Amino acid sequence: MIAFFIYFGLGTLISYLFFLRRVKSFGELHQSQIATFEKETLLRVQNAQIQAEMECQKKVLSFEKQCHERSLALQLKESEMEHERQRFSQDRQVLARETKDVLEEKECLKQQLVSIQGLQLDYRNKLKSICHCSEESIKEDLKKELHHQCSGELQYLRKTLLDQPEADIRAEAQRVLIDSIQRLVTRPINDMSSTIVNIPSEDTKGRIIGREGRNIKSFESRTGTTLMIDETPGSVLISSFDPIRREVAKIALENLIKDGRIHPAGIEENVQRAEEEMKKTIYKKGETALMKLGIIVPSSEVTTLIGKLNYRYSYNQNTLDHSMEVARCCSLLASELGLNPELAKRCGFFHDIGK
């Protein structure tokens, strides 16, 4: 019996503990559901707020866009109104000018009408007095009237007759100059300060410079020019404002590159040889120019001076070519004017001999 009550008490206690555990588990589940519901509610509220803000922004942007479009349309209308206003102002000014011109023309017509009426009255009076006038007086009146009517035309005719010879002379001079210039042929302008010498390979630049720059220093000192080695690949630039020195340096450098033995002694020898060759070239240039023009000079020194003009420049133009062009132009002009063309040719050719 005691065991029964003990077991019954234990069962009751276990049942009560199990019931308490069920109640606690149900409470925790309820709390979890409440928390989940609160989170979902908060999330829905936040989503609703975000959606409302987005809708509000869309409406604001749409309103701003409409305002901007209306502002642009208003500006366009204002611009059109301003254009119409300016056009109306211009039309009003044109109308005012035309009205003024019409009034002036009307006033002029009135004056002409008054003058015509006066002339009609004079003619009527003259017709009335014809019967009482002699033949001589009628002729004198007719002469005066003709002189009055034709004086302006006579003055214009006199001026035309006096100006015609001057106009003919000016037109003939223009024709002669144009014909002479069209018969001349000009050559393109060369570079005035530098000359390019092509080299077979980049190794040649090192041999031109030499050990510690001895070769290039010797070359520049002897020729009076400046060598620019690294400016362009495959070539060497010779710079000098003296065209004759530059040409001598070009000839000497080409001979050195062709020979392949570049050293100070070889540089001295090749420069001397180039100077001698240059003297012959200068003389040949002068002789060729004289032969082309058919001019004879009394001395070879003059021929040399003429050849040197090929290496001088005046206003960015080769002086020898310029002198030959002037000689031909002077000869053509002299022929057109009936003067001595040979003398004119010599004068034109030697006008720059002092340069």
343 pLDDT more than 80 = yes
User: What is the domain-level CATH number for residue 206?
Assistant: 3.30.1370.10
Domain assignment of residue 265, yes or no: yes
Rounded mean pLDDT, 334-350 = 85
Contacts of 281 (CB under 8 A, 6+ apart): 247, 307
Q: Given its phi and psi angles, is residue 312 left (phi above 0), alpha (psi -120 to 50 degrees) or beta?
A: beta
Least confident residue range of 150-154, 276-280, 284-288: 150-154
List, for residues 231-282, the tens digit of each pLDDT value.
Answer: 677 888 888 888 888 888 888 888 888 888 888 888 888 889 988 998 998 8
Look at residue 355 in the predicted model and tell me its pLDDT: 65
Measured in degrees and rounded to the nearest 5, phi and psi for residue 101 equal: -60, -40
Q: Could you give the number of structural domains in the chain?
A: 1
Domain assignment of residue 206, yes or no: yes
Averaged pLDDT score across all residues of the chain = 78
Buried b / exposed e over 143-159, threshold 16 CB at 10 Å, is eeeeeeeeeeeeeeeee
Task: Give residue 236's domain range.
Answer: 194-284
List, for residues 202-238, the tens digit of each pLDDT value.
Answer: 787 888 888 888 888 888 888 888 888 876 778 888 8
Rounded mean pLDDT, 194-207 = 80
